[in-house]
Amino acid sequence: LKIAVLVSGGGTNLQAVMDAIDDQTITNTKIEVVISNNKNAYALERAAKKGIPNLCISPKDFADRAEFNRVFLEKLNSYHVDLVVLAGFLVVIPPEMIAEYKNKIINIHPSLIPSFCGTGYYGLKVHEGVLERGVKVTGATVHFVDEGTDTGPIILQKAVEVQSDDTPEILQRRVMEEAEWKILPQAIDLIANDRVVVEDHKTRIR
């Protein structure tokens, strides 16, 4: 499976995927390219250290969003990947890209969708919402990306306990360590081995 990983920040999910490929937790998979919208994303350094092609394409570099969308998609298409992995990518995916890569884009979201998701819920804001609401269990979700925000078919989820003295930062770290860095590699391996079937906006693992 040839994959592109789209990142915006620290790249700990990218690192988990690279490590999982190295230790064969993920089989039959190669990261063809890492693309970021943020030239300072440490994720790009992580890719460079592994000798993985990486580049930055930012909406800021274009006259308007339509131009960015066009160039972004053209660049991505040049790598001929089978799967696009959003790992903390904070740019809205162009509608044209959703259409061209139907059920070929996956995203990791740091909550148990449909809770604490949708516009406004990203990064620490997700965990602030979890603590504010006082839920006892949170977690992470890997899902296919469709036209909505965090609304595509769910592939894998993993629950994480909320502890009474959690701060958003402590909770974010636990959700990453205990859930994100596990289910994102797992989902990629399932897809690489053709074990995820999409039926009626839901998935079945075979």
State the catalytic residues.
109
Q: Are strands 30-36 and 2-7 parallel, antiparallel or unpaired?
A: parallel
Q: Which stretch binds ligand GRF (CB under 6 A): 6-14, 19-27, 49-57, 163-171?
A: 6-14
Query: What gap in Å lies between CA 178 and CA 202, rounded to an integer?
Result: 24
Which residue from 1, 3, 34, 110 is in contact with ligand GRF, where contact means CB under 6 A?
110
Residue 7 sits in the site that holds ligand GRF (CB under 6 A): yes
| For ligand GRF, the closer CB: 38 or 197 | 38
Which residue from 3, 31, 35, 43 is in contact with ligand GRF, where contact means CB under 6 A?
43
Q: Is 11 assigned a ligand-binding role in the annotation?
A: yes
Beta-carbon contacts of residue 112 (< 8 Å; ≥ 6 apart): 137, 138, 139, 140, 141, 157, 159
What would you report as the CA-atom Rg of the chain, rounded to the nearest whole angstrom?
16
Residue 18 sits in the site that holds ligand GRF (CB under 6 A): no
Contact pattern for ligand GRF over residues 162 through 191, marking x by CB under 6 A: ----------x-------x-----------
Do residues 166 and 132 lie in contact, with contact meaning Cβ atoms separated by under 8 Å? no
Q: Is 65 assigned a ligand-binding role in the annotation?
A: yes
Query: What gap in Å lies between CA 195 and CA 97, rounded to an integer?
Result: 23
Query: What gap in Å lies between CA 88 and CA 123, rounded to an integer?
Result: 8
Query: Annotated binding site: which residue ranges?
Result: 11-13, 65, 107
Q: Write out the residues near ligand GRF by the rule CB under 6 A.
A: 7, 9-13, 43, 87-88, 108, 110, 123, 172, 180
